[in-house]
Amino acid sequence: MSELLKGKPVADAILARTREGAAAFYKKKGRSPKAAIIRVGARPDDLAYERGIKNRAAQTDVEIDVEELAEDVSREELLRTIKRRNEDAATDGILLFLPLPDHLDEQEAVNAISPQKDLDGVSDASKLGVYTDSGIGNPPCTAQAVMEILAYYKVPLSGKKAVVIGRSQVVGKPLAMLLLKQNATVTICHSKTHDLSQETRQADILISAAGRIGMVTGTDVRDGQTVIDVGINFDSAGKMKGDVLYEEVADKVDCLTPVPGGVGSVTTAVLLSHLLH
């Protein structure tokens, strides 16, 4: 049976570091680090995410300030809110809940966030910072969460072959850049890749972020691999599933992240660590 790379101890370690950083920040500035959440409307999933952030923040002495805007908020009011938070010296980071209602230009909104305050790495400037390794902004939280798991469990990356399934701007592509920074040899695959199984079986580290149940089966893996499942999907019964067919893969590979309890449980801790950055 594979070693389970659980997210909780990773998140706890990140939160401990963040708590120490917040204490040092308070000693220097006389206030706690503050994150502004900008939420348009009151979608149940947004509210659940917000509660999770507040619960984690309470463990780290980080302040969360929520700006709740009406679901029919105008473009101008949303941009004014972002601009005000950009210019507010007491706001250290900004998180805009996505997706936005259809009448708002999501790309315009995220690019209005200063990269120095972009907690989730959603702006084009933050993404450029990841690709150029310039240190501008932060990488997307989910991509960074994968790297935190690999580091915590001491999975060697230098010289290893890493295969990433998924080419999104928020996980696959930035994750490939972060792996390259650690001297891994990276291949990006996707649903159109010919003979995907051949590519995945060659990997030392296999990361699936395709968002499809059953993307990785027992025939796609081999002994000795570390498999990171980024997928969060729901089956017909409403049960959360990853991209990886756990029952088929767990007996074959060396290490595997569970779903739930894996990458997803680390992302909020990463978000708060970005605030300190």
Comparing C-alpha atoms, which of 176, 241, 234 is closest to residue 207?
176
190-200 pLDDT, tens per residue?
A: 989 999 999 99
Q: Give the whole-angstrom CA distance, residue 9 versus residue 19.
A: 15
CB 222 within 8 A of CB 244: no
pLDDT at 134: 86
Comparing C-alpha atoms, which of 147, 148, 130 is closest to residue 139?
130
- DSSP single-letter state for residue 115: G
Reported as type and span, the H/E element at residue 4 is: strand 3-4
- Encoded amino acid at 93, one letter: G
pLDDT at 135: 81
Domain 141-264 is found in CATH 3.40.50.720: yes
63-106 pLDDT, tens per residue?
A: 999 999 999 999 999 999 999 999 999 999 999 999 999 999 99
pLDDT at 92: 97
CB 161 within 8 A of CB 187: yes
Comparing C-alpha atoms, which of 166, 157, 162 is closest to residue 215?
166
pLDDT at 229: 97
Q: To the nearest 10°, the Cα dihedral for 53, 255, 221, 131? A: 50
Report the chain (277 residues): mean pLDDT per 10 consecutive residues. Answer: 92 97 96 97 93 94 96 98 98 96 97 96 92 89 97 98 95 96 97 94 97 95 97 90 95 95 95 94
Q: Evaluate whether 28-117 and 141-264 have a shared fold.
A: yes
Domain 28-117 is found in CATH 3.30.70.20: no
Q: Give the whole-angstrom CA distance, residue 147 versus residue 139.
A: 11
pLDDT at 137: 87
pLDDT at 100: 96
Ordered by start, the domain boundaries in the chain are 28-117, 141-264
pLDDT at 41: 97
